[in-house]
Amino acid sequence: VFAMFGDTARWDGMIERLVIFQDEEYEKIEETREYFTRRKDKLRQRVTLSLKETTIELFDEGSSFGLKKMVTKKGEYRLFEFHHGARLDGLLKREEVINKKISEYFKERDDHLIYRSVTYDDTELEDLEDDDGVEVFNLEEGQGQKAENAQLPFLKMTEKFSRTLDVPAGDDVYKRTYFVAADQIRLNFHFGEDRITASSRLYTKEGLTHVTEVDTLKEKPTGSALLEEYQRLLLAERECSQAIRDVEREIRSILDSRMKEEQNIILTVPYYDVTRIKKEESDEEKQEEEQVEHDFLSAFLPSTINVRHLTRTECFAVRDKCLKALKDRLIERANIIQARHDEETAALAKRQANFQRDRDQMSQEEEEEYEKACEESMFRIHILEQRLKKHEEQALQKYYALDSKLRNDPRLAAMSIAPDANKGLGL
């Protein structure tokens, strides 16, 4: 089933939707493909594989966290791909087997890091899940503060580095593996030219060191050099552990951000619409200014005296009446917009209640008509909310602008004269 929508027809920015069914009776949905435009979160396409419980989302440049692609298999697997150059850490891809392993791939980093992974020790997971029956390590949506603070212990951490050309291959580290559970650290070096084996070193927390050198002519490192290297590795292990905890927090932040973006979808306005709206607003404001400038005080000035010799009290009274008239007009316009918003909201709620009541008796055409009506109502409600928000922002500006104009009007100049000066002038 294929459906196409106008660029501004839907509140969520969807322009195309393709639903693929598994059976000829159109009852079991196998795949849903949705295409979007003008989304502030830069979502371009979403593919939902219902049978596999997998969701694939594609994003344009400018998305939160630099996301390019996000794949989620419920409760099992997540994949994050990022736009190249969008992140300062050079991260290109992050794969997560939930509660088991996280792998990251980097490019063009100053420290030559190209890969980092962690394998979790899930032997304690079953016991921790029994605590109040909550999967504390599953970072799915809506599991609260407890899931956020819980942390799985590490079994193994791995870092890989690209070749540093100005360092000999026998001294250039290719892989650092931290066996956290076994209290060991292993170093693997890059392959030398025309070599099929590479040097390695294994450090243990008990102080034992196993050194494997490919080049038999190379001088073996001294005990002090190995001890100094071991101390550096302990520091690197702590930094790697902290980086992985930061990764866990970022994964939660990405999931929270996506959930909030889907709950509050914002559409950007195309350039030609922005230009048109600005022109219309400019014309309206110009007309309003012309109406005010036409003689905005004529309806409030006393008609029995010379307006150029108003007393200070009369000037304040004229100003208050003029400002009150503007305030009443602004409130009236806000009430009109709010009333229209309430009517649309009430109509939508009534339509939804009727649908829930008669859903079992409705035909496919009636359901499609209901869905279309709801989309139109949501679109109108969204527009009215934007108008009301803009009106509230501009109302205060208009009020202060008129107050400033009244203070500078020569016919109300007596307001700026002190009361004693008025007496001295005989006013």
Q: pLDDT tens digit string along 366-413?
A: 888 888 888 888 888 888 888 888 888 888 888 888 888 878 777 777
Distance, CA of 127 to CA of 133 (rounded, Å): 10
pLDDT band of 140, cuts 50, 70, 90: very low
Report the pLDDT value the prediction gives residue 45, as an integer from 0 to 100: 97
Best CA proximity match to 151, nearest among 253, 242, 70: 242
- Looking at residue 283, its pLDDT comes to 61
Residue 137 reports pLDDT greater than 60: no
351 — pLDDT class (breaks 50, 70, 90) = confident
Which of 129-138, 170-179, 246-255 comes out lowest in average pLDDT?
129-138
pLDDT tens-digit series, residues 355-367: 888 877 778 788 8
Residues 93, 83: Cα–Cα separation, whole Å: 9
Rg for the chain, CA atoms, rounded: 35
| The residue type at 119 | T
**Quick one: pLDDT band at residue 281, thresholds 50, 70, 90?**
low
Asked if 169 contacts 191 with a C-beta cutoff of 8 angstroms, the reply is: yes
Give the pLDDT band of residue 154 (cuts 50, 70, 90): very high
pLDDT score, position 136: 39
pLDDT for 148:
43
Q: Are 389 and 341 in contact (CB under 8 A)?
A: no
Average pLDDT over the chain reads: 83
Return the pLDDT at 142.
42
Q: What is d(CA 344, CA 348) in angstroms, rounded to the nearest whole number? A: 6
Q: Which residues contact 351 (CB under 8 A, 6 or more apart)?
A: 370, 373, 374, 377
Q: Which two tokens stand for residue 215?
A: 């080049």
**Residue 26 identity:** Y
User: What per-residue confidence (pLDDT) applies to 414?
Assistant: 72
> Is pLDDT above 60 for 422?
no
pLDDT of residue 294 exceeding 60: no
Query: Which pTM was predicted?
Result: 0.62
Which residue has better confidence, 232 or 296?
232
| pLDDT band per the 50, 70, 90 thresholds, residue 58 | very high
Q: What is the pLDDT of residue 420?
A: 57
Task: Indicate if the pLDDT at residue 301 is higher than 80.
Answer: no
Per DSSP, the residues of 4-60 read: E--TTTSTT-EEEEEEEESSTTS-SEEEEEEEE-SBTT-EEEEEEETTTTEEEEEE-
Helix (H, G, I), strand (E, B) or coil at 118: strand
Contacts of 270 (CB under 8 A, 6+ apart): 7, 38
Q: What does the angle CA 340 – CA 344 – CA 350 come to, to the nearest 5 degrees? A: 145
pLDDT tens for 219-276 read: 888 888 888 999 999 999 999 999 999 999 999 999 999 999 999 998 887 766 666 6
Neighbours of 190 (CB within 10 A): 20
Instruction: Count Cβ atoms within 10 A of the Cβ of residue 326 and give its class: 0-12 exposed, 13-18 middle, 19 or more buried.
Output: middle
Q: How far apart are CA 280 and CA 175, in angstroms?
A: 63
pLDDT at 424 > cutoff 50: no
Give the least confident one: 83-87, 219-223, 280-284: 280-284
Q: Which residues lie across from 31 on neighbouring strands?
A: 20, 49
Average pLDDT (274-285) is 63
